[in-house]
Amino acid sequence: MRMNMEWRHAVVRTAEEVAVGVRLVEFDVEGPLAPFDPGSHTHIAVTIDGARAIRTYTCVPAPANRIAIAVKLHPNSRGGSRFVWSLKPGSTVELTVPENRFELSWRADRYLLIAGGIGVTPIYGMAQRLAAAGQDLRMIYGGVSRAVMPFVDELGGLLGERIELFPADEGRSFDLAAEIAALPKDGEAYVCGPLGLLEAVKTLWRVSGRPVSRLRYEVFGDNGRYAETSFEVSVLNRGVTITVPPDQSLLNALIGAGVEMIYDCQRGECGLCAVRIVETDSDVDHRDVFFDEDEKNENHRMCACVSRLTGGSAVIDIGYRTE
């Protein structure tokens, strides 16, 4: 079951590839749409193998009364990106009014915006809004190559010398320690990118002694340390054993098997979907930002929406949440 959301009917206005492997889809939304902040996301009802599922996407800048998303086609797509890539002008979808859990504070002396790959989607809107408000900011944006990095031209035009690109194929990589050290005491950092980038920033931020409240971040829900493989899960006292294929989340596999689950973000952020690991013969690829490093190392719980086993099997318990 999900938290309350306001669903709307929407029609695809445009759908185009704006970087290699990244599709920008803009929707006309039925009914008036209140302005929303950068960092907001929308849930979209997608169809995967004939079944309805919900996927969450960050909203990128779009004209009034429209919602735009930029979606990378994931090689091991759990179906969401495949669905979005199948959309054409005139296609209809159901989506939710944007809501925000990755907000700008508007209290910093200076903003450091850090984007890795498709993690640029919330950062793009933040850069646009901060620049328009005359705020002091620097953006660093990394990716495999310029060709796969969306919105490079738009951001360059917007920020000029305030943005620096770090395409890996040009031998460029972030010096995160130096970037953080250059921030004034009341500076803030906003990060979105792969899990490894977030963990590096979090560690350096902690080492720098800066307040954790001045670092805000968001992670992709489909990004882990290991490639996706099949694994088996038995649910304690439920008589349910399932095989989770590489292209499906544990959460969706459990729901598909009729297990009543509580969840919301499906991005590893809220922790509502967490299950207890009773025993396992496998490593856990923790892909969430809900548990801290110690909790992840204990392997006592995992977020079913994004985290996976690296193979093998586990017995999990979902009962502790309803007792």
What does the binding site for ligand FES look like in residue numbers (CB under 6 A)?
Answer: 263-266, 268-273, 288, 290, 303, 305
CB nearer to ligand FES: give 281 or 293.
293
Task: Give the residue carrying structure tokens 């990128």.
Answer: 60
Distance between CA atoms of 277 and 4, rounded to whole angstroms?
Answer: 28
**Separation in Å, CA 310 to CA 35, 111, 194, 220, 272:** 42, 37, 18, 18, 22
CB nearer to ligand FES: give 180 or 303.
303
**Separation in Å, CA 142 to CA 71, 146, 169:** 17, 9, 10
Q: How far is the CB of 28 from ligand FES (least distance, A)?
A: 29
Q: How far is the CB of 315 from ligand FES (least distance, A)?
A: 20
Q: How far is the CB of 249 from ligand FES (least distance, A)?
A: 9
Task: Give the residue carrying structure tokens 């004209």.
Answer: 63
CB nearer to ligand FES: give 215 or 305.
305
Q: How many helices (H) and strands (E) does the chain have?
A: 7, 19
- Which tokens go with 37? 């902040």
Q: How far is the CB of 191 from ligand FES (least distance, A)?
A: 18
Q: In this structure, what DSSP letter does residue 97 have?
A: P
Q: How far is the CB of 267 from ligand FES (least distance, A)?
A: 6
Q: In this structure, what DSSP letter does residue 2 have?
A: -
CB nearer to ligand FES: give 176 or 273.
273
Q: How far is the CB of 38 from ligand FES (least distance, A)?
A: 21
Distance between CA atoms of 237 and 234, rounded to whole angstroms?
Answer: 9
CB nearer to ligand FES: give 20 or 262.
262
CB nearer to ligand FES: give 271 or 311.
271
SS3 of 117, please?
A: helix
